Amino acid sequence: MADLILHHYPNSPFSEKVRLMFGFKQLAWQSVLIPVIMPKPDVVALTGGYRRTPFLQIGADIYCDSALIGEVLERIAPTPPLYPVQSAGLARTLAQWADSTLFWTAIAYAFQPAGLQSMFANVPPEHAKAFGADRAAMRGNAPRLSAAEATANLTDYLDRLENMLADERPFLLGAAATIADFSVVHSIWYVRRVQSIASILERAPKLLAWADRMAAIGHGTFGKMTSVEALQLADSSTPAALDATFVHLSDVAPGDRVTVTPTDYALDPVEGELVQASASMLSLRRTDERAGTVIVHFPRIGYQLKKIAV
Ligand SMILES: N[C@@H](CCC(=O)N[C@@H](CS)C(=O)NCC(=O)O)C(=O)O
Q: Are residues 94 and 172 in the same domain?
A: yes
- pLDDT tens-place string over residues 286-303: 999 999 999 999 999 999
* pTM higher than the cut 0.85: yes
Mean of the per-residue pLDDT values of the chain:
97
Domain boundary among 216, 237, 268: 216
From the CB of 53, is ligand 1 less than 6 Å away?
yes
Q: Are residues 112 and 208 in the same domain?
A: yes
200 lies in the same domain as 228: no
Q: Do 116 and 200 lie in a common domain?
A: yes
Compute, in angstroms, the gap from residue 19 CA to the centroid of ligand 1: 14
Residue numbers of the domain that contains 138 = 85-216
Residue 108 is which amino acid? A
DSSP states of 181-246: HHHHHHHHHHHHH-GGGGGGGGG-HHHHHHHHHHHHT---EEEE--HHHHHHHHHHS-PPPP-SPP
CATH code of the domain covering residue 20: 3.40.30.110
Residue nearest to atom 6 of ligand 1 (CA): 52
Express each pLDDT in 141-189 by its tens digit.
888 999 999 999 999 999 999 999 999 999 999 999 999 999 999 999 9
Q: How confident is the model at residue 215 (pLDDT cuts 50, 70, 90)?
A: very high
More confident residue, 245 or 230: 230
Summarize the confidence of residues 32-41 as an average pLDDT. Answer: 98
Residue 66 has pLDDT above 80, yes or no: yes
Residue of 81, 165, 143, 147 lying closest to 110 (CA atoms)? 147
Measured in Å, residue 12 CA sits from the centre of ligand 1 at 7
Q: What pLDDT score does 251 carry? A: 87
pLDDT of residue 1: 73
Q: 105 and 51 share a domain?
A: no
- From the CB of 183, is ligand 1 less than 6 Å away? no
Per-residue confidence at 246, pLDDT binned at 50, 70, 90?
confident
Whether residue 196 contacts residue 115, with contact meaning beta carbons closer than 8 Å, is answered with yes
For residues 41-51, give the mean pLDDT: 98
Predicted pLDDT of residue 89: 98
Average pLDDT over residues 118-128: 94
CA distance 21 to 44: 25
Both 196 and 284 in a single domain? no
CA distance 38 to 35: 7
Last residue of a domain, one of 198, 216, 234: 216
pLDDT at 244: 66
Q: What is the CATH number of the domain that holds 147?
A: 1.20.1050.10
Specify the number of domains making up the chain: 2
Would you state the pLDDT for residue 162?
Answer: 99
Instruction: State residue 245's pLDDT score.
Output: 76
Q: Are 106 and 209 members of one domain?
A: yes
Which of 216, 250, 276 finishes a domain? 216
pLDDT surpasses 80 at 127: yes
Same domain, 97 and 204: yes
* Ligand 1 neighbourhood includes 99 CB (under 6 angstroms): yes
Q: Let me know whether 164 and 226 are in one domain.
A: no
